[in-house]
Amino acid sequence: MDAIQIEGGARLEGDIRVSGSKNAALPILASSLLTAGSSTFHNVPALNDIRTMCRLLELLGASAEFPIKKGKTADRHVVRLTTKAIKDTTAPYELVKTMRASVLVLGPLVARHGQARVSLPGGCAIGARPIDQHLKGLEAMGAKIQLEHGYVVARAKRLRGARLVCDIPTVTGTENLMMAATLARGHSTIENAAREPEVEELARVLNKMGARVRGAGTPVIDVDGVDELHPIEHAIIPDRIEAGTFMVAAALTRGNVLVRDCLPEHLDAVIAKLRSAGATVTAESGGVRVRGPATIQPVDITTQPFPGFPTDMQAQFMVLATRARGQSVITETIFENRYMHVQELARMGADIMIDGRLAVIRGVPRLTGAPVMATDLRASASLILAGLVADGRTEVLRVYHLDRGYERIEKKLRPLGARIKRVKGRM
């Protein structure tokens, strides 16, 4: 397995481009199951999770072209999906266990094909992550749900519109129910819906396909069911978490970086905390410029559903806090076990105390490079950030997780002056 090797201490300077959003692309690719024909999606990030979703859609009977070949070259960011006939309705354990977002085929399969058999995802490195809200919603729409041999089997001749009240705002749950409701008979309301930009983006895509969705981006989403949807062409929004990660890299290294092609309105909470940490953040044509402060100020953060501070940026801000002058407190409210990076950061010299969902971080004058590894995506990104400011060499092992969510991060950071490279064949 590859590792990422970093020699710390470089100040980052220059422009960096943000890729398309992974968490927007995954439900959008799954939504192609609601149509018959060929849809083309642009600005899709070239990531392992996208490949996994394409593989799953192929198992179900779709044909997936990714990347699209153009003569001798290939466009790495275009996916064409043709979903003429569905030959299977099973999302197997082998795929679901590598990517929980596989559960996003559940809603579309029941809605258009009357049945779905999806492996229960099981526990995950960052928390239990049940899917009870997805199932409760489908049941309210008339689906019969059974658990068989580790699989959820959902059946419905045709779903019917219903009032769906989520106990908690769940991102993929809202997406599954919104997709299911587009082809249900009658009107559905999703209350306490997740408001993340990725939910709004999916609604845009569904409406392009001919669906009638209103209110996405607010806690109440209304969907009038239609009889069929048609294939489309669409370019995916930029990845706000990749953008946020680059912004922290700039602040942390006292750099001066223009983060290109991001949408600042998706990053309000992140930008506010960067400013509290002392960074200068300015909107410019083409992106957002971040200048790091001479002295990083401590920041207190509580993760929240959007528009609050995203849990997917918690680990990266913790690294910023390790270099602050003073004490920061982070409260993780979304996932119960999302502090997997703490022990590794401690090995690099960070001073962090965990008490349940609370982390108290006392800034230290220096971190030191070390071999480290992480068991989830954002934790891996935080170790890369720590490596950028640590003295000496850091080797981030098991980059499998990183590659699920960051497109060639080392190639993107190197032109900014980072001394970072991929090394093959480490443990």
Could you say which of 311, 322, 380, 382 contacts ligand EPU (CB under 6 A)?
Answer: 311
Closest approach, Cβ 126 to ligand EPU, in A, equals 7
Could you say which of 16, 106, 118, 131 contacts ligand EPU (CB under 6 A)?
Answer: 131
Nearer to ligand EPU, 370 or 381 (CB): 381
Closest approach, Cβ 122 to ligand EPU, in A, equals 12
Could you say which of 11, 80, 129, 426 contacts ligand EPU (CB under 6 A)?
Answer: 129
The answer to whether residue 334 forms part of the interface with ligand EPU (CB under 6 A) is: yes
Nearer to ligand EPU, 45 or 363 (CB): 45
The answer to whether residue 259 forms part of the interface with ligand EPU (CB under 6 A) is: no
Q: Counting beta carbons within 10 angstroms of the beta carbon of residue 400, is it exposed (0 to 12), middle (13 to 18) or buried (19 or more)?
A: middle
Cβ(358)–Cβ(303) below 8 Å: no
Which stretch, 67-75, 124-132, 220-228, 322-330, contacts ligand EPU (CB under 6 A)?
124-132
The whole-angstrom separation of Cα 424 and Cα 427 is 9
Nearer to ligand EPU, 330 or 334 (CB): 334
Closest approach, Cβ 125 to ligand EPU, in A, equals 10
The whole-angstrom separation of Cα 156 and Cα 116 is 9
Nearer to ligand EPU, 258 or 359 (CB): 359
The answer to whether residue 134 forms part of the interface with ligand EPU (CB under 6 A) is: yes
Which residues, 337 to 366, sit near ligand EPU by CB under 6 A? none
Could you say which of 101, 247, 252, 409 contacts ligand EPU (CB under 6 A)?
Answer: 101
The answer to whether residue 142 forms part of the interface with ligand EPU (CB under 6 A) is: no
The answer to whether residue 217 forms part of the interface with ligand EPU (CB under 6 A) is: no
Total site size for ligand EPU, rule CB under 6 A: 25
Helix H, strand E, coil C: the string for the chain is CCEEEEECCCCCEEEEECCECHHHHHHHHHHHHHECCEEEEECCCCCHHHHHHHHHHHHHCCEEECCEEECCEEECCCEEEECCCCCCCEECHHHHCCCHHHHHHHHHHHHHHCEEEEECCCCECCECCCCHHHHHHHHHCCCEEEEECCEEEEECCCCECCEEECCCCCHHHHHHHHHHHHCCECEEEEECCCCCHHHHHHHHHHHHCCCEEECECECEEEEECCCCECCCEEECCECHHHHHHHHHHHHHCCCEEEEECCCHHHCHHHHHHHHHCCCEEEEECCEEEEECCCCCCCCCEEECCCCCECHHHHHHHHHHHHCCCCEEEEECCCCCCCCCCHHHHHHCCCEEEEECCEEEEECCCCCECCEEECCCHHHHHHHHHHHHHCECEEEEECCHHHHHHCCCHHHHHHHHCCEEEEECCCC
Question: Catalytic annotation on 54?
Answer: no
Which stretch, 52-60, 132-140, 254-262, 294-302, contacts ligand EPU (CB under 6 A)?
132-140
Which stretch, 63-71, 105-113, 128-136, 386-394, contacts ligand EPU (CB under 6 A)?
128-136
Which residues, 154 to 193, sit near ligand EPU by CB under 6 A? 168, 170-173
Phi then psi for residue 28, to 5 deg, are -65, -45
Nearer to ligand EPU, 19 or 170 (CB): 170
Closest approach, Cβ 263 to ligand EPU, in A, equals 17
The β-bridge relationship of strands 327-331 and 301-302 is parallel
Nearer to ligand EPU, 10 or 110 (CB): 110
Which residues, 19 to 38, sit near ligand EPU by CB under 6 A? 23, 26
Closest approach, Cβ 176 to ligand EPU, in A, equals 9
Evaluated on CA atoms 182, 86, 155, 104, the torsion sign reads negative
Cβ(145)–Cβ(153) below 8 Å: yes
The answer to whether residue 45 forms part of the interface with ligand EPU (CB under 6 A) is: no
The whole-angstrom separation of Cα 169 and Cα 216 is 13
Closest approach, Cβ 307 to ligand EPU, in A, equals 12
Binding pattern for the stretch 226-245 against ligand EPU, x by CB under 6 A and - elsewhere: --------------------
Could you say which of 82, 90, 133, 328 contacts ligand EPU (CB under 6 A)?
Answer: 133
The answer to whether residue 405 forms part of the interface with ligand EPU (CB under 6 A) is: yes
Nearer to ligand EPU, 219 or 417 (CB): 219
User: Where along the sequence are the contacts to ligand EPU (CB under 6 A)?
Assistant: 23, 26, 101, 127-134, 168, 170-173, 194, 198, 311-312, 334-335, 377-378, 405
Q: Would you name the residues annotated as active-site residues?
A: 124
